[in-house]
Amino acid sequence: MTNPMHEPAESGDSDDSVWEDLVRRLEATPGDPTEPVSGDSPAPPVPGSVAPRGVDPGLFSMHPALSGPRDHDLPDEDEGSFVPEDPPALGSGNPLLTLAWSCAAGAPIALLLLAIFWRRAPMPLWIGLVVVAVAAAVFLFARLPRHRQDGDDGARV
């Protein structure tokens, strides 16, 4: 018992003609969508587009709007360009501030690991980690600036 709707068509010529029409329309140049491009001469490439090696250059130049932002050359403007200052060395920071950040981030992580792996940890350890995390957070909030400086637009972090 076969379904007559699923049987292949008797004439293969209609499928071939539809396929050839589809190929002809896909090979058409952007200027004239009805005329196919001959197989001997590829379409002229779009300026600035580069096709990978071994690939027909006309394949990537079917439409001029397909060029990306890297296909265009920027003018050389060295005057007034931004040059960032060198960052300070890693060990040159305030050790108390580094300790506070380590405790503010490390104590909650330690509490999470204790809750997952060692649920029967002694109560002074739990309380001590909570106190360390809260004390480090209070210290960091106390160090925040209280007043805005004149001329500061907030652009610099």
Write 45-52 long-range contacts (CB < 8 A, 24+). Answer: 46/71, 48/72, 48/73
| Entry pTM | 0.43
Q: Which residue has the higher pLDDT, 125 or 92?
A: 125
Q: What is the pLDDT of residues 39-65, one digit of tens each?
A: 555 555 555 555 566 666 666 555 656
Q: Is residue 100 over pLDDT 70? A: yes
What is the torsion angle, in degrees rounded to the nearest 10, for the CA atoms of residue 23, residue 29, residue 34 and residue 36?
-50
| Residue pair 68/80 in contact by the 8 Å Cβ criterion | no
| Residue pair 111/104 in contact by the 8 Å Cβ criterion | no
Q: What is the pLDDT of residues 19-32, one digit of tens each?
A: 888 888 888 755 55
Give the number of other CB atoms < 10 A from CB of residue 119: 7
How many Å apart are CA 53 and CA 148, to the nearest integer?
57
- Alpha carbon of 63 to those of 26, 38, 40, 73, 90: distances in Å? 11, 17, 20, 19, 51
Classify 140 as helix, strand or coil. helix
In angstroms, how far is the first alpha carbon of the chain from the final one? Answer: 75
Q: Is residue 17 over pLDDT 70? A: yes
